[in-house]
Amino acid sequence: MVTILSSHTVLPSAPTPSLTSPSSLCEQFKLSTHAPLLYVYNSNNFPPHHFQPHQILITSLSQALVPYYPLAGRLSWSASARGRWELHCNAKGAHFYEAYCHSTLDDLGDFVPAQIVQQLIPHIDYGCPIEQVPLLAVQLTRFSCGGLTIGVAMSRAVIDGTAAMRFINSWAKLARGELLASTEMPFNDQTVLDSYKLHKTPRFDHSEFQPPPLWAGRSEGSELESKTDVVVLKLTRDQVNKLKKKAGDVIASPNKRPYSSFEVIAGHIWRCVSKARYAGNDDQPTRLSTLANCRNRLNPPLPSGYARNAAFPTVTSTCSFHELIHKPLSFAVGNVREALERLTDQYVRSVLDYIERVKEMKVVRYNFHYPARIVCEGEFKGNPNLFVVSWMNFLYREADFGWGKPVYFGPGFMDSEGKAFILSSVDGDGVVVAICLQALHMDAFRRLFFDDIEEVLPISKL
């Protein structure tokens, strides 16, 4: 049980620009909800006397909000309607909570992002007007064993994972009493991204913004079907290399680069999830969605230190369960690669032109971000799709606030069926996969996830 001891509003420690501007076109199709990040620290490196981590964090956060002043602002709906918002840089501040947990860090096991772990992330009240919702909230939780966690909730409409890591690592550096170098200062002007659009009719068929495939042939939902479960699984470096070899053996051209770890693991997850969901429905359509950092995919690249959201969506071609299950791993992995390689400079510019012309942004947001929430008359009807997010390149180990590097980093909670995160393991020997699925599919998925690395199981054994 986690008890909130105090709450504070943390304001920038110095005057910041006061301005209102429309969010960038990239930010318009993001959700106004918050990404939950969890950092875990043991007590080995804590100062022996008068250790006041909340004071250190509050003071340094106040300092960090000066260069990162958009995070101290608020969103509001644009007067132009069409479901768009704008950002008010009004220095209303971030929310900070101090909490205590009577459990120990060991009691949390693998920090599966559910139940008590969810209580380590600050609660955001989405029932109040959007103008009152903080873009950044932080919760410091101290444990009876002496360890602590820092839970961070950051608005997806303002900042992406790359910028979030840069912000948190800068905040940690200030907490250690160090100064930020000029190269570490953020670039906050979101209008630079919109300057890349070409003011033309979109040149591509932007399927990422079209409705995802529906679960076919199921007319009734049930409480059992709607219940979800979350699991955290680890792949060693050796297992990842086995997957790469398995997927790469069919590449005929020596000029093609080997598949990346993300491409292989995402394809493997997609294939295993489809097998776990399989119920004789060979023709069931499915697709995989993901986001990619496009800072360096644009020509010229975005300015160094761009501190807003530059993660663009992409989806695979729609496949059938039969294709994913019966074709080799390279089929799924190749579809993931194709989706990522689609995000060229010209494609991203076409996305910006597409979003500029959208009449109702809420529909676009729903189609991409909620492929798992397929409901009819309040009943969950099943989800054939997968949404995979990569945190593999996040430099979370630099988040040393003066008491050592985190011993764990991951999503704070997961409640979206069919969503998975892939991140590097803390020990550097492989990756960690966190995934949320319907509970009735989880045992089959867990078994297939490891067994399929060694062999392809026949359908009769599923």
Per-residue pLDDT tens over the stretch 229-261:
999 999 999 999 999 999 985 454 566 789 999
Q: What is the pLDDT of residues 278-319, one digit of tens each?
A: 999 999 999 999 999 999 999 999 998 999 999 999 999 999
Decide if 199 is inside a domain: no
Measured over the CA atoms of residue 373, residue 382, residue 311 and residue 423, the dihedral's sign is positive
Decide if 189 is inside a domain: yes
| Residue 369: per-residue pLDDT | 77
The arithmetic mean of pLDDT across residues 95-123, rounded, is 92
| Residue 21: per-residue pLDDT | 84
For the cut 50, the answer to whether the pLDDT of residue 171 exceeds it is: yes
- Please check whether residues 188 and 314 belong to one and the same domain: no
- Please check whether residues 182 and 226 belong to one and the same domain: no
Residue 125 and residue 65 in contact, taking contact as beta carbons nearer than 8 Å: no
Domain limits for position 27: 2-194
- The torsion angle over the Cα atoms of residues 397, 395, 171 and 45, rounded to 10 degrees, is 0
Q: What distances in angstroms separate CA 192 from CA 69, 73, 100, 251, 305, one per listed residue?
A: 17, 19, 43, 39, 13
- Please check whether residues 444 and 355 belong to one and the same domain: yes
User: Among residues 132, 166, 194, which one ends one of the domains?
Assistant: 194
CB burial of residue 328 (10 Å; 0-12, 13-18, 19+): middle
Q: Both tokens of residue 153?
A: 């909730």
Q: What distances in angstroms separate CA 96 from CA 10, 116, 150, 170, 422, one per listed residue?
A: 7, 19, 10, 17, 28
For the cut 50, the answer to whether the pLDDT of residue 114 exceeds it is: yes
For the cut 70, the answer to whether the pLDDT of residue 458 exceeds it is: no
User: Among residues 160, 194, 228, which one ends one of the domains?
Assistant: 194
| Residue 460: per-residue pLDDT | 40
Q: What is the pLDDT of residues 379-400, one digit of tens each?
A: 666 899 999 999 998 888 889 9
More confident of the two residues 457 and 421: 421
pTM equals: 0.93
Pairing of strands 285-286, 19-22: unpaired
- What percent of the chain has a predicted confidence (pLDDT) above 90? 76
Q: What distances in angstroms separate CA 42 from CA 61, 206, 432, one per listed residue?
A: 21, 46, 20
| Residue 249: per-residue pLDDT | 55
- Please check whether residues 141 and 213 belong to one and the same domain: no
Residue 390 and residue 89 in contact, taking contact as beta carbons nearer than 8 Å: no
Pairing of strands 408-411, 34-41: antiparallel
| Residue 222: per-residue pLDDT | 46
Decide if 228 is inside a domain: yes
- Please check whether residues 151 and 230 belong to one and the same domain: no
Domain count, the chain: 2
Q: Both tokens of residue 2?
A: 């986690």
- Please check whether residues 381 and 303 belong to one and the same domain: yes
Average pLDDT, the chain: 90
CATH of the domain at 372: 3.30.559.10
The arithmetic mean of pLDDT across residues 92-99, rounded, is 98
| Residue 51: per-residue pLDDT | 78
| Residue 357: per-residue pLDDT | 92
More confident of the two residues 345 and 215: 345
| Residue 367: per-residue pLDDT | 82
Q: Which residue has the tokens 């980093």?
A: 409
| Residue 426: per-residue pLDDT | 84
- Please check whether residues 100 and 177 belong to one and the same domain: yes
CB burial of residue 241 (10 Å; 0-12, 13-18, 19+): middle
| Residue 376: per-residue pLDDT | 47
| Residue 255: per-residue pLDDT | 67
The arithmetic mean of pLDDT across residues 94-98, rounded, is 98
Decide if 412 is inside a domain: yes
The arithmetic mean of pLDDT across residues 99-120, rounded, is 90
- Please check whether residues 139 and 250 belong to one and the same domain: no
Distance separating alpha carbons of residues 354 and 347, to the nearest angstrom: 10
Lowest mean pLDDT among 72-76, 136-140, 196-200: 196-200
Tell me the residue type at 373.
Answer: R
Q: Give the model's confidence band at 371: pLDDT under 50 very low, under 70 low, under 90 confident, else very high.
A: low
Residue 10 and residue 62 in contact, taking contact as beta carbons nearer than 8 Å: yes
- Reference 371, options 440, 288, 291, 438; nearest CA is 288
- Please check whether residues 188 and 320 belong to one and the same domain: no
- Please check whether residues 248 and 165 belong to one and the same domain: no
| Residue 435: per-residue pLDDT | 96
User: Among residues 162, 194, 226, which one ends one of the domains?
Assistant: 194
| Residue 253: per-residue pLDDT | 55
| Residue 201: per-residue pLDDT | 92
| Residue 254: per-residue pLDDT | 61
Distance separating alpha carbons of residues 431 and 427, to the nearest angstrom: 9
| Residue 380: per-residue pLDDT | 67
| Residue 1: per-residue pLDDT | 86
Q: What is the pLDDT of residues 49-58, one digit of tens each?
A: 667 899 999 9
